[in-house]
Structure 1
Amino acid sequence: MGQEEEEATVAVEEEEDEEGRREKSEEIRNQRKQNLIMEISSKLIHGDLEAKIEAARDIRRLVRRSATTISSSSCYSLSYSSSPCSSSSSSSCKTRSKLGAAGVIQPLVLMLVSPNPDAREASLLALLNLAVRDELNKVKIVTAGAIPPLVDLLRFQNGSLRELATAAILTLSAAATNKPTIAASGAAPLLVQILSSGSVQGRVDAVTALHNLSTCKENSFPIIDARAVPPLINLLKECKKKYSKFAEKATALLEILSNSEEGQVAISNSDGGILALVETVEDGSLVSTEHAVGALLSLCRSSRDKYRELILKEGAIPGLLRLTVEGTVEAQERARTLLDLLRDKPEQKGLTSSVLEKIVYDIATRVDGADKAAETAKRLLQDMVQRSMEHSMSRIQHRAASCTPSNISSS
C-alpha cells in the first residue's frame, strides 16, 4: 500500500471515529433528557405543591433550550402558530412530544384550579410550551379538562393570569378538534370583554381566538353577538396597518356580525364604524378587503335606503372601483354588486356620469399608469354599463315571468 493510500485510509478511519463519538454523545444527551423528563413527570404526579411548581417551571426551561423559545415576555407570539416544526426546532418538538407522552399534562391541568397563584401561572406557562406546534398535545390538554378552569381564569382581575389564559385559549383553539368544546364553554363572551378591557397583547390574542372559533363548522349558534362590534371597530381604527393579519381577523369577525340586524345597527352606530370598513377596502390586504366589502355589502343589501347614503358619505366609491380591478375574484364580484346598489337610484346626488368618469379615470391611472389610463377607464365604464343593462334585463324578465294570464287580462 502506498503512502497516499495509507493517508486516505487513516482519514476515513478518523472520520468514522468522529462520527461514532458524535453519535455516542447524542445518545448520552438524549438519555439524560429522557431521565429528566421522567423525573419531572414523577414530581408532577407524586410531589407536593412546591415540587409540582418547580417541575412545571422545569418543563418551560427544558423546551426553551431548543431553537423555539417561549419567555415570560414573549410566550404569546409563538403560541399563535400551529405550523409544523422546522428543522431548527425539531428538537423542541420532540421534547414536547416526549413530555406529553410522559403523562405531565393531566397533573398540570389539575394545577390550574390550585388556590396558589404561582401554581396556576407555572402550569399555564408549561401548558403553553407543550401546546405550541404540537396538535396532539393541544388535544390532550383539552381532553384532560383544561377548558373550564381556563374559562374561570378569563374572569380574573389578575391581568397576568387572564392574559395567559387568553393565550392558552388561542393556542388550543388552533386545533380543529378542540373548537367545538371551546365554543360551547362560554369563553367567547369573556373574550369579547377582553377586547375592551385587556392589554394590547390580550386584545390581539382575544381577536385571534374568536376568529379561530368562528371557523368551527359544528357551531349551531353564533360565537359572538353585536356587543363585539364596538370594540372590534375601535381595534380596527387603531390598527395602522389595515393589511395586517390582525386586520384580516377583525374584519372577518365584522363581516360575520354584519349578517345580523343587530350587528348592522351596531356597525352603523359605532363612531367611525363604516369609515373603518371603507378605509380597509382602500388600504387592506386581499383578505381584509374581501371581508370589509362583504360587510358593507351586507349592510346595503339589508336596507339600501338606510345604509347606501352612509356608505357613500364615507367616500367608498374609489376604493370599490379599484377593488373591481385589483381584488380577489370574490372581492371583485362583491365590489361590483355593491357599486350597482350604490348607484341604483337615479336621483342619487354626487354620482353623476362626469363624476363617475373622473373617479374611474383616477383609479385607472393608479392601476395602469397615465399611458393606458384612458383605455382602462373606458373598459371599466363599459363593464359597469353592461352589468347595469344585464341587471335591468334580469329584473324585466323576472317581472314578466311572474305575470300570469289572469294578471294580463285584468290589467
Structure 2
Amino acid sequence: MLSKESPENRALIVGNGGIPALIGLLAYPDKKVQENTVTSLLNLSIDHGNKLLITKGGAIPLIIEILRNGSAEGQENSAATLFSLSMLDENKATIGTLGGIAPLVELLTNGTVRGKKDAATAIFNLILNQQNKVRATQAGIVPALMKVIDDRSLGMVDEALSIFLLLSSHPTCLGEIGTTPFVEKLVQLIKEGTPKNKECALSVLLELGSKKQTLLVHALRFGLHEHLSQIAKTGTSRAQRKANSLIQIAKKCY
C-alpha cells in the first residue's frame, strides 16, 4: 500500500534498492510471497522510470511464471503488471516472445471475474503488436472471447469486441474470426445489445465486411439491414457513422 498511494514512498523504495530486492523474491517458492511481491512491483510500475527498471532487472519472465502457476490473486496482479509494463512498446514484443500471451488467454478463459478483466486489459494492449495478434490467435483467444460474449453476467462484451476489432485487422486472425456463426452473433448484438455493444459490434462487422464481402452478405441474410437503418437514425454518433458506412458497402452486395 505504501508504494501504491504515494509517489514519494515509491521514490524512497526505489532509491533504497527496492526493485532488485523485489525481483529476487519473484521466484521464492511460496505463493503468498510471490503474490505480495508482484503486487508491490505493480504499484511501483505506476511510474514510467520504474517500468524501465523492472524490465531491465529481468522481472518479465518471472512475472509470466507467476501468471502461469501462482495463486489466483498472484495471477490477477501478474496480468495487471504485464499490462502496466506493456505501456512501453518494446515490452509488448518482449512479453509475447517470452510466452506471456498464452497464460493470459488461459486466465481470460478460466480465471475469476477480476482475473478475466485483468487478462482482457493486458491482451488488448499487447495485441497492438502485430505478432502478438498471431500469438493470441494460436493460443485460442477467439473461442475464449466467444465465451466472454456469451456470458453477459461478466459485463465484458465491449472489451471482447474491442479485442476482436484489433485481431480482425490481421490476415491470419481474420481467417479464424470471419465465420458465419460469429457474424450471426454480431448481428444479434446489433439487434439486442446496449448502445455501446451495438457500436462495437458495428465496428467489428465493418472491418470484417470491408475485407471479406461474403461476410456482409451473411449478415444481411441474418436481418442486418433493418437494424442498420434504425441505428443510422437513432444510434450514438459513432454507431451512426459505422451504420452508414455499412449501408454503403451493403449496396454493392445486392
TM-score, normalised via structure 1 length: 0.52
2:116 counterpart residue number = 203
Alignment equivalent of 1:99, drawn from 1, 6, 13:
13
> Who is 1:143 aligned against?
56
Unaligned segments of structure 2, at least 5 residues:
none
Q: Which moved more, 1:148-157 or 1:289-298?
A: 289-298
- The one-letter amino acid of 1:207's match is A
Tell whether 2:11 aligns with 1:114: no
Residue 191 of structure 1 and its aligned partner are, at CA, apart by: 1.0
Greater mean alpha carbon deviation, residues 137-146 or residues 205-214: 137-146
**For residues 195 and 58 of structure 2, what CA distance do their matches in structure 1 show?**
38
In the superposition, relative to structure 1, how do residues 108 and 157 fare at CA in structure 2: closer, same or farther (>3 Å)?
A: closer
Whole-angstrom CA distance in 2 between matches of 1:156 and 1:107: 21
1:107-135, Cα deviation, whole Å (9 max, x unpaired): 1011111223333222112212222x322
Say whether residues 1:187 and 2:120 are aligned partners. no
| Among 158, 165, 168, the residue aligned to 1:258 | 168
Deviation at 1:166, TM superposition (A): 1.8
Alpha carbons 1:148, 1:185 under 8 Å: kept: yes
126 and 157 in structure 1: CA distance in 2 versus 1, 3 angstrom threshold: closer
Cα distance change, pair 214–260 in 1 and its aligned pair in 2 (3 A): closer
Q: What amino acid does structure 1 have at the position aligned with 2:149?
A: L
Question: Which residue identity lines up with residue 139 of structure 1 in the other structure?
Answer: L
Q: C-alpha displacement at 1:345, in angstroms?
A: 4.5
Q: Is the 8 A contact 1:281 1:293 kept in 2?
A: yes
Residue from 228, 250, 254 that aligns with 1:342: 250
- The one-letter amino acid of 1:186's match is G
Q: Give the partner amino acid of 2:67.
A: L
Distance in structure 1 (CA, Å) of the matches to 2:81 and 2:226? 42
Q: Distance in 2 between matches of 1:280 and 1:198?
A: 25
Q: C-alpha offsets along residues 178-234 of structure 1, whole Å, 9 cap, x if unaligned? A: 433323322112211222121211111111001111234xx5563522621111122
- What is residue 296 of structure 1 aligned with on the other side? 205
**Is 1:172 the counterpart of 2:76 in the alignment?**
no
Corresponding position: 1:155 with 2:61 = no
State the alpha-carbon separation in 2 of the partners of residues 210 and 194 from structure 1.
Answer: 11
CA distance in 2, matches of 1:303, 1:297: 10
Contact 2:126 2:132 in 1 (8 A): no
Q: Is the 8 A contact 1:229 1:257 kept in 2?
A: no
The count of residues paired between Structure 1 and Structure 2 equals 250
1:290-330 Cα offsets, whole Å, 9 max, x none, are: 5422321233344434x23531344323442344344446x
Q: Does the aligned pair in 2 maintain the 1:230–1:267 contact within 8 Å?
A: no
Instruction: Find the residue that maps to 2:17 and give its secondary structure.
Output: coil
**Change in CA separation of 1:157 and 1:125 when aligned onto 2, cut-off 3 Å:** closer
Contact 2:38 2:81 in 1 (8 A): yes
Larger Rg over CA atoms: 1
CA contact (8 A) 2:187 2:223 kept: yes
2:203 partner letter: G
1:277 to 186, 209, 223: 186
Contact 1:278 1:316 (C-alpha < 8 Å) held by counterparts: yes
- Aligned-residue RMSD, C-alpha: 3.1
Q: CA deviation at 1:343?
A: 4.3
Q: Which amino acid aligns with 1:134?
A: D
Q: Which amino acid in structure 2 is aligned with residue 235 of structure 1?
A: V
TM-score by length of 2: 0.80
**Aligned partners of 1:233 and 1:270 also within 8 Å:** no
Counterpart CA distance in 2 for 1:170 and 1:290 is: 25
